[in-house]
Amino acid sequence: VKQNSKISKKKKDNLQKVMEVIHKAVECYSQTWKKQEDNYQKLRSNLSSKCHGLEEAIITQNNKPVGSEIVYDGSKKTLKVTPELFSIFMKDHPFSNKTLDTCAVVGNGGILINSSCGETIDSAQFVIRCNLAPLGNGYEKHVGTKTDLVTANPSIFINKFGALNGRRRPFVESLRSYGNSLLLIHAFSFSAYTAASLRAIYTIEDFESPIRPVFLNPEYLKSLHLFWRSQGLRENRLSTGLITTSLALELCNNVHLYGFWPFSNHPHDLYPLTNHYYDDIKPKKVHAMPAEFDLLMRLHSQGILRLHLGDCP
Ligand code: CDP
């Protein structure tokens, strides 16, 4: 009984924290948003000097020469860069010395359903999407179709495409809607995922798919983790949404977020929402989603980035 009452107190405390974040978000969101250039420049230069996303976010032949070691960010394992592995790395970093004007980062939240935000998202100069989220089937009106970068967690190759051990065409066909965007693969978080990630790349090459696969650099993830920790975020693993948002903050003058709402009810009308706009698979426990959202809300209220929680015109 004592233990039960302890658990329920913990649950109650958590619920209370979530309610506070939602309440704060709705209140903060109702204020008029204005970009605050000073705050934005300060965060961007801080982030750039600590994490060097424009040179380090992606593994290249420059930052990982033959003979160097890749240290996984989810375990202590390492992998030596062989000439064969090196040959599939991108030559130069696609973002070095680049600044883009407006970027849209599209999270996968159910809040996008019926948002009519597709056109607004697609009007951004650079559109980042997460985890090969679907774009067809009528979703386009609400999430858009333009994609410049899309991430892939290798668990997708394993769970949806049989680890690419069998027929590979369905995988290649599923990539068609992303055109020639960059496919950013988290291949070096856990060693168990590396082989399937390599098979994904060989499949893309063999089928001559126009998508351009690249690897997320685990060293960048480690420095991002430390950076956000220094800003008060306590969590074990950063979510894909926070990783892509961090990259956008270095790369783009104006960062707009859509589909970020890790709660099960709509902020305005409180009707129930699915976790993703395309399914209701629950979030992984390793992410501290309300805490991450609290951080994003803080950046929104400081005029550093703009969160979109409402429907688009
Ligand atoms: O890889 P991960 O499980 O973090 O991501 P996902 O479920 O595919 O969603 C992509 C990103 O959208 C997440 O990392 C979150 O940042 C964001 N998201 C959100 O804010 N609210 C939701 N209900 C679902 C996703």
Q: Is the CB of 197 under 6 A from ligand 1?
A: no
Quick one: pLDDT at residue 286? 63
Q: For the whole model, what pTM was predicted?
A: 0.94
* Protein residue closest via CA to atom 6 of ligand 1: 108
Q: Is the CB of 260 under 6 A from ligand 1?
A: yes
Distance between CA atoms of residues 54 and 136, nearest Å: 31
- For residue 274, give every residue at least 6 positions away whose Cβ sits within 8 Å of its Cβ, in sequence order, or none: 110, 113, 280
Whether residue 158 is predicted with pLDDT greater than 50 in this model: the reply is: yes
User: In 162-216, which ranges are continuous DSSP H helix?
Assistant: 169-174, 194-206
For residue 187, the CA-to-ligand 1 centroid distance in Å is 18
* Protein residue closest via CA to atom 5 of ligand 1: 240
For the CA of 110, the closest atom of ligand 1 is 23
Integer Rg of the chain from CA: 20
Higher confidence at residue 3 or residue 256? 256
Active-site hit among 93, 225, 276, 287: 287
Quick one: pLDDT at residue 30? 86
Q: Is the CB of 131 under 6 A from ligand 1?
A: yes
Mean pLDDT of 176-198: 97
Mean pLDDT of 13-40: 87
Residues of the chain with pLDDT > 90, as a percent, come to 80
Amino acid letter, residue 220: Y
pLDDT in tens, 203-223: 999 999 999 999 999 999 999
Q: Is the CB of 121 under 6 A from ligand 1?
A: no
**Degrees, nearest 5: CA angle 197-284-270:** 130
For the CA of 260, the closest atom of ligand 1 is 20
Q: Is the CB of 244 under 6 A from ligand 1?
A: no
- For residue 169 the two structure tokens come to 């065409």
With the most atoms of ligand 1 within 8 angstroms of its CB, the residue from 106, 130, 216, 279 to mutate is 130
Mean pLDDT of 29-43: 95
Q: What share of the chain is helix, strand, coil (3-state, %, to 5)?
A: 45, 15, 40
For residue 240, the CA-to-ligand 1 centroid distance in Å is 6
Grade residue 6 by pLDDT with cuts at 50, 70 and 90.
Answer: low
Cα distances from 84 to residues 65, 80, 211, 214, in angstroms, run 11, 11, 20, 15
Task: Please say if 287 is a catalytic residue.
Answer: yes
Mean pLDDT of 175-182: 98
Residue whose structure tokens are 């982030």: 47
**10 Å Cβ neighbour count for 151?**
22
For residue 131, the CA-to-ligand 1 centroid distance in Å is 9
Residues of the chain with pLDDT > 70, as a percent, come to 97
pLDDT in tens, 45-99: 999 999 999 999 999 999 999 999 999 999 889 999 999 999 999 999 999 888 8
Distance between CA atoms of residues 147 and 122, nearest Å: 8
Quick one: pLDDT at residue 1? 39
Cα distances from 303 to residues 121, 122, 172, 286, in angstroms, run 19, 22, 40, 28
What single string gives the DSSP state of each residue in 98-158?
--EEEEEEE--BGGGTT---HHHHHTSSEEEE-TT----TTTHHHH-S--SEEEE-THHHH
- For residue 156 the two structure tokens come to 């997708």
Quick one: pLDDT at residue 120? 98
* Protein residue closest via CA to atom 20 of ligand 1: 260
Q: Is the CB of 239 under 6 A from ligand 1?
A: yes
265 CB burial (10 A radius; 0-12, 13-18, 19+): middle
Beta strand 100-106 pairing with 78-80: unpaired
pLDDT in tens, 259-298: 999 998 898 888 899 999 999 998 876 667 889 999 999 9
Q: Is the CB of 44 under 6 A from ligand 1?
A: no
Amino acid letter, residue 121: I
Residue whose structure tokens are 């994490």: 51
With the most atoms of ligand 1 within 8 angstroms of its CB, the residue from 115, 151, 239, 273 to mutate is 239
Q: Is the CB of 245 under 6 A from ligand 1?
A: no
pLDDT in tens, 115-155: 999 999 999 999 999 999 999 889 999 999 999 999 999 99
